[in-house]
Amino acid sequence: MYTTALTDYCLESANASKIAAAQSGSNIDVVNNVPFADDDAKKDALLRYGANTTPTGINIYPKDFAGTDAIKAYLDAYNEGRPEAEQKRRREKEGYLQALQR
């Protein structure tokens, strides 16, 4: 099992990397040497290179099918009546659900 300490180490290491520092100070993708099309493209690069450590999703591992159904119902209820931009998406894979932020 992974510990919080390992997660913290990985995030701090990525954030302190040379590529993260270079990308943070540039409006050009430091790997492709191409200007960003918009702010979202730069945010994606900062996330990809470790300069932005904001979580983008979680993995949920239900112990059985009843748990899977309960999680789906919970997320459906959470999303009900919310604008699409605020809804949590889910992607099901064998054995777990993935709740994604938009």
Least Cα distance to 25 among 42, 48, 47, 44 occurs for 42
Rg (CA), the chain: 17
* pLDDT at residue 101 tops 70: no
Q: Is residue 99 within 8 Å of residue 61, measured between CB atoms?
A: no
* pLDDT at residue 91 tops 70: yes
Q: Where exactly are the structural domains of the chain?
A: 4-48, 57-100
In the prediction, which pLDDT does 66 show? 86
Distance of alpha carbon 31 from alpha carbon 41, whole angstroms: 13
For residues 20-31, average pLDDT: 94
pTM: 0.61
- List Cβ neighbours of 67 (8 Å cut-off, separation of 6 or more): none
